Structure 1
Amino acid sequence: MSDMIEFSVPIEVDEIPTKGLRRKISADEEARAALAARFDLLELGALDAAFELKPLAGGPMIRVEGRVTADVTQSCVVSGAPIRSNLDQVVSVFFAPPGMIEENQEFTLADADPPEPIEAGVIDLGELAAQQLILALDPYPRAEGAQLDAVIDTLPDGRKTGVQAGPVDKSADNPFAKLAALKDKSAPGEDESR
């Protein structure tokens, strides 16, 4: 990933009124192409967001809520076929000055996410939209009907992988088939140690 932010919409935290601030943003064609390359997408047809930024009473933290929508085309992990989808991601994120965020604090799954840092007094809504986009993407997109045993052992550049995907071995010699047979023999709830 490059250090360049492909889609930047900076908001100065000091300019956010106490009643809050609303912003709608849309990535232009150049930003969408750069984000598509960053996230390995075939195409990013649209990326739009609507955010509301509100300072929290009693502190310099900012709550950002809203929605990010996108039209994306990904490549099927099995066949490489294009998969188009419309994403709709609800956003609720807190931002705080770096000094308020304890970097070494441990969080559990039950805890809320720690706040994001406010960098140089700015919250970048474009980068926030991009981060929400990557969270909404299917990490393993698979076209309907795509079968792993249909994969050819040739890479797109023509090199051979040396591996031929094939059907799952369901024969009795397969150790997993033997385990399944053992499992089927024991009745549910039976304690065989008695």
Structure 2
Amino acid sequence: MQETEGNFTDKKGKAQEAKDALDRMKKHSDKLRKAIRYFMQRKLHCELGYEDSDSGLRKCLKEELEDESLYSTLCRWLQAFYVERSLKLDENKWPLTVLLAFYKYEEDGWKKIYKKLCEQSNTSMKGFEEVCRELLRDREIKLKREPKPQDYEKIADKFKEIMAQLDKSKITEIINALQILLSDKSHHTDAETR
């Protein structure tokens, strides 16, 4: 399609519309974050007769808002605020995803994670994951929940069930193709080492 003044202006208008929408999202998010922090810090849930605790605050939000989606979003912010308070972080300096990721690990390891991230001046999710892998490897932190062990017998049974449903000639065809592929790969690797 040839670029004309009309469709160029239209593209420019759509780009501005997109930027405006992004700006509204950012402003809305900032307002929401500030509103929940204000509500929490002023303990306004207590004024509505709820217990002065984190669970009382969550109960208030759930019952008074009557909106599961908003409640879920606000609970994420509450979790992030808890991490900020626990580690004495400046407000709204760390990405929400990083703050929430602390919850994968036992709380007594959070300071070690934070210290290591500060040493690297890296608050990205990628940096967080690298630091946590290193600290887990060195057994300096622990996961809240250990990964479930794989039930290999169950996996093998499922594989057998699937294989039983396949046509025998197809299975032979697949095995032959895999053998050829593996054979080609090993010949290629042998040539590279020479």
Structure number with higher helix proportion: 2
Higher relative contact order (CA 8 A, sep 6+): 1
Task: Report the TM-score when normalising by structure 1.
Answer: 0.25
- Larger Rg, first or second structure (1 or 2): 2
Structure number with higher strand proportion: 1
